[in-house]
Amino acid sequence: MKYKHYDILIPKEDPFANCKLDRRQYANVLTQIVSNYADGFVMSVNGAWGTGKSTFMKMWEATLKLEGFKSVYFNAWENDFTSDPLVALLGEIQGAITSEEESAFNKVLEIGGRIAHNAIPTLVKVATKKFLGEDAANIAEALTKEAGNAFKEEVLEYQNKKEQFVAFRDELSKFIESEVEQKPLIFIVDELDRCRPDYAVEVLEHIKHFFSLKGIVFVLAIDKEQLCNAIRGHYGSDRINAEEYLRRFIDVEYILPEPNMETYCNYLYEYFQFNDFFQQPARNQHQIFRTDGDAFLQGIVQLAREYHLSLRQIEKLCAHTRLVLRSLKSHYLFPNMTLMLIFLREYNHTAYLKIADYEFSYQELVDFVPKIFPTKLFKQENEYASSAMARGLAQLLYCYSQGVISTGHPKPLFKPTQSSEKATLTVSISYANVEYITNAIEWYKRSYYSFSNWGYLIKSINLFSQLID
């Protein structure tokens, strides 16, 4: 049984074979773009954290190799321990070449080594090391003199560095043109938005100044909002126009389309093997349990769509729910309410505790729910079918009322009626179909006659219960 979603296997012969988001089509579009504009440019693929961007880029990079492109996948976040991005970027290119090409690339490395700045000490460090043995009275005078000498050397070295910079670009350009032939080298930079702000900015600057060449296409897989935050952090100002700054480096921006949430939720339902719980014989023999699986799936699709949950957030929600189910066996589940409570525990813990501890009257609970969940989620889908959230509200009111009874301070959820009168709630609900909610609670009262309170369910949601094999 799985409690975590692991990285998808990417077969070399068909990289998108296991893609559950139908993203092969987007990879084909990106391949057409880099094929038709081989003169060299920088493209960004923009998508929020947790939307499967890295997996998509790895699948596309593997596809590029199948189609005869030379490509590099560089995870900037895993490599920001290097002090100079030039070293990391050249190292990735070297890793992509064959032994026959190595001699041609050595000239690039030789010149690149001369202009790498990671080992250049500051003036103070140079002077301090040189005069470490002198007494304090002479250090100030010595530092001043040495700083002046170092400044002169920097001025004299300026022209030499400038010539080396031009030579580096010329040699790298010759190498790229001789090796990539008709197709450009595709250099994918991933996770740049998760790097240290200074490293992220340096990578951008190096790409612009050192690698803006014919025959090489850089593709930056980024969360644009987070990268803009890193840029502001690097320059120490919230007033800097980070988006305008990025436009200096990015020629083409591609926004990765959002996945089909229903498709992905169905995939996770199978991946986490929910049917092993919902379809177990001990539950299926009871009519009231048979629709629990469908109700749960509908509920998670609704939450994912409404809150624009990332793929990673949906995965975590499903993983937590699977652990909860592991401790319930064939207990009453109330799937839509359980999902609502698990969601609240993760994203609004204060609200979750207030509900779990019976801090509300029935009317206060009814009035509190739409402050957390949008009221449109409770609208009846059609004449015959209610929304998952409306069922969740009915289940919540029923379970809450049963719990209140068990506290020793029972309060009626229904108004007293004669046998021939319709049941009427003591609360007013403006955002959901009151008749449906009332009928649903009445049905729960008849069907779950042995249910006393939800203590076992809260205990399972908090992961306090032992898992059942």
Q: What is the pLDDT of residue 412?
A: 87
Instruction: Give me the phi and psi of 41, to 5 degrees please.
Output: -160, 175
Q: How many CA atoms lie within 13 A of 54 on its CB side?
A: 17
pLDDT at residue 152 in the model: 52
CA dihedral 42, 45, 46, 52 (to 10 degrees): -150
- Is the pLDDT higher at 239 or at 93? 239
Q: 58 vs 100, which has greater pLDDT?
A: 58
pLDDT digits (tens, 9 = 90+) for 339-390: 999 999 999 999 999 999 999 999 999 999 999 999 999 987 665 567 889 9
Look at the block and give the residue holding tokens 């919902």: 278
For 236, which DSSP code? Answer: T
Question: What distance in Å separates the CA atoms of residue 235 and residue 238, rounded to the nearest whole number?
Answer: 9
Give the pLDDT of residue 185.
Answer: 85
Q: How far apart are CA 377 and CA 369, in angstroms?
A: 11
Give the pair of three-digit tokens for residue 458. 């809260």
Angle at 79 between CA 75 and CA 85, to 5 degrees: 100
- For residues 344 and 91, the model is more confident at 344
Residue 227: what pLDDT? 93
CA 428 to chain centre: 40
73 pLDDT higher than 70: yes
Question: Which residues of 155-296 form beta strands (DSSP E)?
Answer: 185-190, 216-222, 252-255
Q: Answer yes or no: CATH 3.40.50.300 is held by domain 24-128+159-255.
A: yes
Please provide residue 339's backbone torsions phi and psi, each rounded to the nearest 5 degrees. Answer: -65, -40
Residue-wise pLDDT for 278-287, tens only, equals: 988 888 888 8
Domain ranges of the chain: 24-128+159-255, 261-461
Tell me whether residue 26 is exposed, middle or buried, using C-beta atoms within 10 angstroms of its C-beta: 0 to 12, 13 to 18, 19 or more.
Answer: middle
Which of the two residues, 54 and 170, has the higher pLDDT score?
Answer: 54
How far from 442 is each of 388, 398, 435, CA to CA, in Å?
18, 9, 11
Q: Is the pLDDT of residue 125 over 60?
A: no
| Residue 258: per-residue pLDDT | 86
Sheet containing strand 71-75, edge to edge, reads 71-75, 185-190, 216-222, 42-46, 252-255
Mean pLDDT over residues 166-188, rounded?
76
Q: Do residues 335 and 301 touch, judged by C-beta distance below 8 A?
A: no
Token digits for 297?
A: 């799936």
According to the model, what pLDDT value does residue 118 have? 40
Question: Which stretches does DSSP call E strand in 115-259?
Answer: 185-190, 216-222, 252-255
The confidence score (pLDDT) of residue 70 equals 86
What pLDDT sits at residue 43? 93
Average pLDDT over residues 214-237: 91
Average pLDDT, the chain: 83
The mean pLDDT of 455-465, rounded to a whole number, is 90
Residue 17 confidence class, pLDDT cut points 50, 70, 90 = very high
Phi, psi of 334 (to 5 degrees): 50, 70
Asked if the model's pLDDT at residue 100 lies above 70, the reply is no
Side-chain-side CA neighbours of 460 within 13 Å: the count stands at: 22
pLDDT of residue 130: 42
Helix or strand or coil: residue 328? coil
Contacts 24+ apart (CB under 8 A), 157-162: 161/115
Give me the pLDDT at residue 123, please. 36
The pTM assigned to this predicted structure is 0.77
Tell me, what's the pLDDT at 365?
94
pLDDT in tens, 262-298: 999 999 999 999 998 898 888 888 888 888 999 999 9
- Residue 366's φ and ψ, nearest 5 degrees, are -60, -40
The pLDDT confidence band at residue 124, using thresholds 50, 70 and 90, is very low
Segment 228-244 shows an average pLDDT of: 90
| For range 139-162, the mean pLDDT | 56
